[in-house]
Amino acid sequence: MGAYLFYVVCVSIWLAFGWALLERPVVLDRAWAGMQRLPLLVKPVVWVAFLPWVSGLAIWESGWRDPRARRIAVILVAIAFIVFWTVVTFPSGGGRS
């Protein structure tokens, strides 16, 4: 049950991230600014604990000039992590053995 709940939470966070990416990018800008203001000793903990989403934020806030390319890169990162969590959470492919 715990793994399934973790999976649902992780996918839900990506869905919220995607909504912010498409509808309210300023929310992501504020989240990145908040990350930058964290104390130096806290930053590595946050990066490790929230690696997929912080990676998405880092891509979004990168110096790439084309916002469309940044959106595509963030979506690819999100899909990669969701696929990873799916394989880890449902290793048998969903069928019962």
Q: What are the extents of the domains in the chain?
A: 2-89
- Cβ atoms 75, 18 nearer than 8 A: yes
Which residue is listed with tokens 């996918």? 11
The position carrying tokens 């992590």 is: 81
Distance from the Cα of residue 33 to its chain's centroid: 16
* Average pLDDT, consecutive stretches of 10 residues, N- to C-terminus, the chain (97 residues): 87 94 93 94 94 94 90 94 90 61
pLDDT computed for residue 35 by the predictor? 93
